[in-house]
Amino acid sequence: MQNCDSKGRTLDADLKVKLERYLIQMKKAKE
């Protein structure tokens, strides 16, 4: 729980990037 802040922030940013890529792939798949 001590490194929750630093690791949490980097993880959050990484998740956002993965989410954006996932949404883009879904849009391409529908087309």
What is the spatial distance between Cα 19 and Cα 25, in angstroms, rounded to a whole number? Answer: 10
The whole-number pLDDT of residue 24 equals 96
The whole-number pLDDT of residue 13 equals 82
Let me know how long the chain is: 31
The whole-number pLDDT of residue 3 equals 57
Q: How do the domains of the chain map onto residue ranges? A: 1-31
The whole-number pLDDT of residue 9 equals 67
**pTM for the whole thing?**
0.54
The model's pLDDT over 4-27, given as tens digits with 9 standing for 90+, comes to 556 666 777 888 999 999 999 999
The alpha-helical segments, DSSP class H, found in 1-31 are 4-30
